[in-house]
Amino acid sequence: MRNWLAFSMIVGILAGCARHKGDIDNFQGNMDSTVHVENHYWGDVDVFVLHDGTRTRLGMVTAATDQTLTLSSRLIGSAGSLQLEAHAVGMLGTLESETFGYRPGMQINWTLESNMSRATLSIY
């Protein structure tokens, strides 16, 4: 009976010390970021993130609309910097943003104009 009581107490103490995985992820900075794209371009645009020599598609934003895309913190490697790339669907040419440092939970606003070379990037 004593062994059962001791075992129950140990299990209770360990359960009380355990943390929820989401709490640990947020504590360590593993929060996703958002990329809000305003597409003033006349065609659909595929949006990619360039990181650690890799190109990953975030999604597509249709013509003359805006959309919020999720940038997972798992996409960011050891360098801690990235670029965004926009490619007009069915057209030649791409637009790359400047390289910027990544922080977990950041908000990125990218406005693509009808002449994509006049795009603006805001990071919060």
Q: How far apart are CA 107 and CA 101, in angstroms?
A: 12
Local confidence band at 58 (pLDDT 50, 70, 90 cut-offs): very high
Local confidence band at 35 (pLDDT 50, 70, 90 cut-offs): very high
**Rounded mean pLDDT of 68-93?**
88
Which pLDDT score, from 0 to 100, does residue 76 have? Answer: 78
Say whether pLDDT at 61 is over 50: yes
Return the SS3 of 17. helix
**110 phi and psi, to 5 degrees?**
-125, 115
Local confidence band at 7 (pLDDT 50, 70, 90 cut-offs): low
Which percentage of the chain shows pLDDT scores above 70?
A: 75
Sequence spans of domains, the chain: 31-123
Architecture of the structural domain at 31-123: Sandwich (2.60)
Q: The whole model's pTM is what? A: 0.74
